[in-house]
Structure 1
Amino acid sequence: MELVNIETGNFMCDGGAMFSVVPKVMWSRKYPCDENNYCNCAMRSMLVVEGDRKILIDNGTGDKQDETFFAHQQLNGDASLVSSIENAGFSTDDITDVVFTHLHFDHCGGAVKWNNAKTGYELVFPNATHWVSKRHWENYKNPNIRESDAFFDENIMPIQEAGRLRFVEKEGALFPNFEVRFFDGHTPGLMIPILKKGNQTIVFAGDFIPTVANIPVKWLASYDLNPTASLSEKESFLQEAVKNQYFLFFQHDIQYECCSLIQTDKGVKVDECFPLSSIK
């Protein structure tokens, strides 16, 4: 198995939203912010090459929304989805599968693009089957008022209309050495990939644990729709992760790609941080 970090660009996020009730005096020691309390956050994807499959996990924002929307998100950085895939030695036509952790705009927007005339949409990965959890799809189709602004039909409906969308109903193996687990704290049916590379386990943490600074159980993001569920899910999973020596891969941490964990008398904490490429 080959694992490749796919950078799609960065966006600015309010620090209070990233760390909820944690006071700024505490979270700002762990994650940098500007004078307006905005944190620069990555939008990493991961390319998993296993046998004949080339599986892309999430794909950033894309470029279909209007200038006002993107100005609000303060997109920045030189990386792009397509250039990162090409720099890894692949093309968009090579991708066999796209796995969405969920359908918030910064995780699925890159799968659909304008056609040349901007009269309609095309799939960025025309040969790929696109996967999302059935529970999250049902949530997307009937969103609550708080979450609805994170969904855009143009990011996902062209995939379904092209017959390229599939639903995952059960946890477990999706592909060889690639299983998925469901969580409900951030959004119903969040689907987190767990990868087996040799004797190592790598977790694509997504919005379940968006940055290294969010590892402490109580350091939740305000974006979590059900914080009580997030607390319970994270506490249980971190115990599993440290017991089994999982590595975590962070989608939104601008500073760190991966970390290992250690058990302390004050709970599970970061052991070491390192790039994905160092996992052999």
Structure 2
Amino acid sequence: MPRIGPYTLYTIETGRFALDGGAMFGIIPKPLWERRIAPDERNRIPLHMRCLLLEGEGRLILIDTGLGHKYDEKFRDIYAVDHATCTLEASLRQAGFEVSEVTDVILTHLHFDHAGGATQRTGDRLEVAFPHARYHVQRRHWDWALHPNPRERGSFLKENLEPLAASGQLELVDGDVELFPGVQLLTVHGHTEAQQLVRISDRERTLLFAADLVPTTAHLGLPWVMAYDVRPLVTVEEKQRLLEEAVTGGWDLFFEHDPEVAVASLERTPKGVAATEARSLDEW
């Protein structure tokens, strides 16, 4: 398993789903984006929900949680939810851990495909899925999710928020901080208010968990911005700044939603920053 500083890193595949290709690529014409990711008969593109686990310093840190299992058949049909090949719980066990061992959950943001697995339904009761973990969320984003705008209301689901609020396990974070040694949170505001990316680094290398700033390798291009983003021009500015920093600093990116690529290095090209040496985390 790859290491950065004191941490051993594991890919945690939590399932697959699909979103409308037009929504995922915004102003990019379909003849261009379908060359990168082919849509199904309902114009949906396949996406992974790929999370990252860090073991070290006496902690077991999970970054994002996928969808979870709380949703009805209509929801599962709309989003083509697929847990047949992998689940959060099974992937944790495959890595050698149990849910009860997770000490910290970093939620990049509270949209259902990132935070849904943080809570679960047990009978008629909703509860947190990680009984011994602290849940780390940006304070500004938490407030934003509790009072959602009409555009994002369908992404912030009360069954994902209420158990966290009642758990006593929620830790609200203020801005860019080093949460743990070598684990830094970087806030961005284009996709949603105060999304937090996670940068893991030591003296030799850096991995950026790019979340929904760069959900797939196709989104490395500056104009390739999701229609879901509440501030698309801010997304463009944030991508330009962070990708330039990543290329200059030799960072690699971890892609949460790419259907094929988990980790890639970056290079400058005449058309902008592009992925190179795409691979799995195990090969990194």
TM-score range, shorter chain: over 0.9
Aligned partner of 2:134 in structure 1 is 129
Aligned partner of 1:50 in structure 2 is 56
How far residue 34 of structure 1 moved from its aligned partner, in angstroms, is: 2.0
Runs of at least 5 residues in structure 2 that lack an aligned partner in the other structure: 1-6
TM-score scaled by length of structure 2:
0.95
| Greater alpha carbon shift after TM alignment, 266-275 vs 140-149 | 266-275
Q: Find the aligned partners of 1:137 and 1:55 in 2 and give their Cα distance.
A: 20
Q: Find the aligned partners of 1:65 and 1:33 in 2 and give their Cα distance.
A: 23
Partner of residue 24 from structure 1, selected from 8, 19, 30: 30
Partner of residue 78 from structure 1, selected from 76, 85, 94: 85
Aligned partner of 1:61 in structure 2 is 67
How far residue 197 of structure 1 moved from its aligned partner, in angstroms, is: 4.7
| Greater alpha carbon shift after TM alignment, 62-71 vs 11-20 | 62-71
Aligned partner of 1:183 in structure 2 is 188
TM-score scaled by length of structure 1:
0.96
How far residue 89 of structure 1 moved from its aligned partner, in angstroms, is: 0.0
Q: How many residues are aligned here?
A: 277
Q: Find the aligned partners of 2:127 and 2:42 in 1 and give their Cα distance.
A: 37
Partner of 1:255, secondary structure, is coil
Aligned partner of 1:14 in structure 2 is 20
Partner of residue 260 from structure 2, selected from 255, 263, 267: 255
Aligned partner of 1:204 in structure 2 is 209
| Greater alpha carbon shift after TM alignment, 120-129 vs 81-90 | 120-129
Q: Find the aligned partners of 2:231 and 2:33 in 1 and give their Cα distance.
A: 21
Runs of at least 5 residues in structure 1 that lack an aligned partner in the other structure: none
How far residue 78 of structure 1 moved from its aligned partner, in angstroms, is: 1.2
Q: Cα deviation per residue 1:146-202 (whole Å; 9 max; x = unaligned)?
A: 101101121122122120001010302001110000000000000000001551100
Partner of residue 245 from structure 2, selected from 240, 250, 257: 240
Partner of residue 269 from structure 2, selected from 225, 243, 264: 264
Q: Find the aligned partners of 2:106 and 2:256 in 1 and give their Cα distance.
A: 14
Aligned residues: CA RMSD: 1.1
Aligned partner of 2:46 in structure 1 is 40
Q: Find the aligned partners of 1:21 and 1:103 in 2 and give their Cα distance.
A: 25
